[in-house]
Amino acid sequence: MKKKTPKKTPRKIPPQKKQRLSAVLAPDEPKPVRVENPQGRGLGLIICDHAGNRVPRALKDMGLEKATLKKHIAWDIGAEDISRHMSKALDMPAVLAVYSRLVADMNRAPDYHECMAEVSDRIKIPANAALSKEAKELRLKEVHRPYQNRIGKLVEGFVKKGRTPVLVAVHSFTPEMDGVRRPWHISLLWNKEEKIAKQVVRALRRNHPDLLVGENEPYSLLDERFAGSTICRHAEERNLPYVFVEFRQDLVDTREKAVRWADIFLQALQPVLEGQEIFRDRKIKPFKK
């Protein structure tokens, strides 16, 4: 009679500890948001979601050539210069995003795939390929949320004083994207605040009949991709007035050109702000973090 071979007890493998991800921002690197003219006494805020093209050292230039980080996929060329000029002209604080939109796009909802795009204008972004949930959360915690929360606090400062702030969002667009030409010189975008946008559009056309002024071009804020974006969160969801402007990048790619176009826009915008009509009968809703 054969002896029964005792069953081997499977060796228990201790559960592996989750690898702790290191911080995105080093202690000596700039904070993700900078506010110019923080004591401005104007009628609201200038917001520039894509002001900077800086990349934290930990992300190693996003796996791209440094020259690529100077292109439109990394930031809105000219938008910072425009925002800073308008901040002085209107005496408004200007909230500027320091890091590249490729690190975390401030103008997208945190859970939207374009917040950390894997491809932009047919260019692959290696540092964004197959990001883990933990890696995404780290970028949101260190880069995206601090920017959004700073805007929320500044808006709340107006509300506590019984004031209704206007948010002026400054962006710029490349003359060609995905092989499609974009002819507009300047464009106004909107969802809920069509009346304000069209007032500015009419003023631009009246002041400069030669300009090609876009309306919800080359994007539309009616598009679902902008649900949960900066203007959606801080203006539309709170019932605040806003103006969203886009400048064509080849027209604003130097400081001198950016200032010239900022003044063209300001000439159309200031009468709308001074009219005060856009601030009336607004029941402001609380900010959702």
Q: According to the model, what pLDDT value does residue 4 have? A: 53
Q: Where are the domains of the chain?
A: 33-274
CA-CA distances (angstroms) from residue 40 to 82, 88, 141, 205? 16, 8, 28, 30
Instruction: Give pLDDT, residue 7.
Output: 53
Mean pLDDT of 80-92: 98
42-59 pLDDT, tens digit per residue, is 999 999 999 999 999 999
| Architecture of the domain made up of 33-274 | 3-Layer(aba) Sandwich (3.40)
47 neighbors 169 (Cβ within 8 angstroms): yes
Mean pLDDT of the chain, nearest integer = 92
pLDDT, residue 5, reads: 52
Residue 20 pLDDT exceeds 80: no
**pLDDT score for 15:** 45
Q: How confident is the model at residue 102 (pLDDT cuts 50, 70, 90)?
A: very high
Cα end-to-end span (Å), the chain = 74
pTM value is 0.90
Question: What tens digit of pLDDT does each residue of 243-268 get?
Answer: 999 999 999 999 999 999 999 999 99
At a CB cut-off of 8 Å and minimum separation 6, what does 274 contact? none
In this prediction, residues 199-203 reach a mean pLDDT of 97
What average pLDDT does range 200-216 have in this prediction?
98
